[in-house]
Structure 1
Amino acid sequence: MPTEPTEQQPPAAHGPVEVRRSDRRRRTVSAYREGDRTIVLIPARMSKAEERRWVTAMLDRLAAKEAKRSVPGGDTELAERAGRLSERYFEGRARPGSVRWVTNQNTRWGSCTPAEGTIRLSHRLRGMPEYVVDYVLCHELAHLLVPGHGPDFWRLLEAYPRTERARGYLEGVAATARTPDVPPDVTDDEEV
């Protein structure tokens, strides 16, 4: 039977922390965000000293995971980045009207509407290596100049030197997502 949750005073950046002890939990500690609060699940038998150590460790782990997912500057930084890539690889000819992150693209990495000059990148790219995000941006910028995926499009995209490497990375991510037997690459559960 779970014991009463306890409040801990965390470092200010983390917000309130609720520790939930469970008699059923034997060997794992996990943590997740619930609104502005962090919930840390621990075995009931854990000492107060172990609790403090694990709470600190799990807060650090969550913060690192969240930092990896976020991209500083959001849409403004993304648009500036697209502008720099256009200058470098397309002689400034690809000029999008807007470039932004979106959360409604779960089967594509990015999309472009040449008639409107809009580029949208999936939030799933956040936290991926910069060269991968740059590749997807270059791919969508190239669509502003050449619609479709014909030979002219791929010739234009050859200007970005890490195209093949980035495509391989994205293919690997997609294959992993389709493989049910592969465990998630990051877990919030930790052996005690």
Structure 2
Amino acid sequence: MSSEQYQVRRSARRRTTMGIMREGGTLVVVVPARMTRQQERELVPAFVSRYLQHESRRRPPAADHDLTERALALFERYLAEPGSGTPRVSVAWSARQQQRWGSCTTATGEIRLSDRLQAMPDWVADYVLMHELTHLLERTHSPRFHDLVARYPHSERAKGFLEGWQAGQNLPPAEL
């Protein structure tokens, strides 16, 4: 089991099942009030372990410092407006992105790039980064969005590269 600490809380409302959640940074296991201390010692550690395993699969990958720096440089060069400041951004490679080249969570600034891009030229990955960075300024694929992405000088070339790669692999077009 993980060395992560957890707190056990008894609940009169729970009859037969345990629950688990995070409060602040603390993992809280809610057990039925009638559960014995012996049952608690036997059941809770495995329950916490399963939860942590499941949670680790749901968490986005840890940010890659070099990718994040690359994204910030692209933002400053092609997207920054005078006085607009730099957005909060973290970028990571993701092995889970098989249908998309990249994705962006605008609320947190988390960008994930398909690890398939690692085998491609940097200007292709930079185009996908630009696309995702642009979502921080314009959430939809509006005309303004496409104008902003087009500031990257290799946009059309990179789109063609990705389309050609997909056709060569006999794959349906991946989304950005």
Q: TM-score range by the shorter chain?
A: 0.5 to 0.7
Q: How far did 1:94 drift? A: 5.7
Letter in 2 for 1:77: D
Counterpart contact for 2:68–2:89, Cα < 8 Å? no
**1:41-91, CA deviations, whole angstroms, 9 ceiling, x for partnerless residues?**
xxxxxxxxxxxxxxxxxxxxxxxxxxxxxxxxx811000100110110012
- The separation in 2 between residues aligned to 1:91 and 1:140, in whole angstroms, is 14
Q: In structure 2, how many angstroms separate the alpha carbons of the residues matched to 1:178 and 1:148?
A: 28
Q: Encode CA deviations 1:126-184: one digit per residue, 9 max, x unaligned.
A: 021111011000000001100121111001111101100000000011111226xxxxx
Provide TM-score, normalisation by structure 1: 0.52
Q: How far apart, in 1, do the equivalents of 2:129 and 2:96 lie?
A: 17
Structure 2: which 5+ residue stretches go unaligned?
1-62, 172-176
RCO (CA 8 Å, sep 6+): is it higher in 1 or 2? 1
1:79 alignment partner in structure 2: 68
- The equivalent of 2:164 in structure 1 is 172
Report if the CA contact (8 A) 1:89-1:160 is conserved.
yes
Aligned to 1:39: none
The one-letter amino acid paired with 1:82 is: A
TM-score normalized with structure 2 length:
0.57
**Aligned residue runs from structure 1 range 1-192, under 5 A:** 75-91=64-80, 95-178=87-170
Partner Cα separation in structure 2 for residue 109 and residue 96 of structure 1: 21
Structure 1: segments with no counterpart, 5+ residues: 1-73, 180-192
- Structure 1 position 95, deviation (Å): 2.0
Change (3 A) 1:144 1:79: same
The alignment of Structure 1 onto Structure 2 pairs a total of residues equal to 106
* Contact 2:92–2:113 (Cα < 8 Å) also in 1: yes
Measured in 2, the distance between the counterparts of 1:127 and 1:103 equals 13
Measured on the aligned residues, the alpha-carbon RMSD in Å equals 1.7
How far apart, in 2, do the equivalents of 1:130 and 1:172 lie?
16
Q: Structure 1 runs of 4+ off > 4 angstroms?
A: none
Amino acid at match of 1:168: G
Question: Quick one: distance in 1 between partners of 2:156 and 2:144?
Answer: 17
Structure 2: distance between partners of 1:146 and 1:94: 15
